[in-house]
Structure 1
């Protein structure tokens, strides 16, 4: 009986570690997206400071290419919208991982307690 409990405990610990890895990936992705969002918001503020007849260039590889201002602003706005949506999605995913981790912790504690009791008998 103790061996079965130990195997179940090892399985739960493995699943908990896998959850931790996924959680870390999601947090890292969110951090990257937040940096991109701030960068794009700064670009948007720069557009607000420009005069209507200002020329806008887009960096494509090593070359600056002239771009229509309305098109450039629309692209930045779309990017901001997309990134904000991805951050929201990751927030939901992170919350889910946190809940699952908490459940796994509880299961592990129960199994550890049961295993210790079996060892004492």
Structure 2
């Protein structure tokens, strides 16, 4: 039973790490957009794609949107990191239980062999 729980924890950890990587990729993309906005003139034309349509957006609104996305992504990354920590703690606890079970089994085998 403990082995299955440990395997499930490993799967959960992999899923969370993958989610974190996707968030970091989104964070990098948005940071790049923010840097591009920083070098644009205030009267530059900025277009936002919504479905198949490009809509004109003013720079202030676009910058605010990107900043809001970056804040949201930062919060999500922090949440995922907390979840990863929790999973790692559970993993260590289960690993300790497995070691105790293996040790007890070895002692029983040694006692039976004597």
TM-score by length of 2: 0.92
Q: How far is the alpha carbon of 1:72 from its aligned partner? A: 1.1
Residue 42 of structure 2 corresponds to: 52
Q: How far is the alpha carbon of 1:67 from its aligned partner? A: 1.2
TM-score by length of 1: 0.87
Name the SS for the 1:64 alignment partner: strand
Provide, for residues 49-68 of structure 1, a one-character-per-residue CA deviation record: whole Å limited to 9, x for no partner.
10011111001122211112
CA distance in 2 between partners of 1:62 and 1:107 (Å): 55
| Structure 2 unpaired stretches of 5+ | none
Size of the alignment, in residue pairs? 111
Q: How far is the alpha carbon of 1:89 from its aligned partner? A: 1.0
Q: How far is the alpha carbon of 1:26 from its aligned partner? A: 0.6
The equivalent position to 1:23 in structure 2, one of 7, 10, 13, is 13
The answer on 1:92 being equivalent to 2:82 is yes
Residue 23 of structure 2 corresponds to: 33
Name the SS for the 1:54 alignment partner: coil
The answer on 1:103 being equivalent to 2:93 is yes
Q: How far is the alpha carbon of 1:25 from its aligned partner? A: 0.7
Higher relative contact order (CA 8 A, sep 6+): 1
| Structure 1 unpaired stretches of 5+ | 1-10
